[in-house]
Amino acid sequence: MRLSVKELPRPVHGSGEVRIRMTMSPINPSDLLMIQGKYGKQPPLPCIPGFEGVGVVEEGKGIMSWRVLGKRVAVLN
Q: What is the mean pLDDT of the chain?
A: 89
Q: Sheet harboring 52-60: ordered strands across?
A: 18-24, 52-60, 72-76
Which of 39, 57, 65, 75 is an active site residue? 39
11-47 pLDDT, tens per residue? Answer: 888 888 999 999 999 999 988 988 888 988 888 888 8
Instruction: Note whether 32 and 6 are within 8 A (CB).
Output: no
30 included as an active-site residue: no
The CA-based angle 18-46-72, given to 5 degrees, is 25
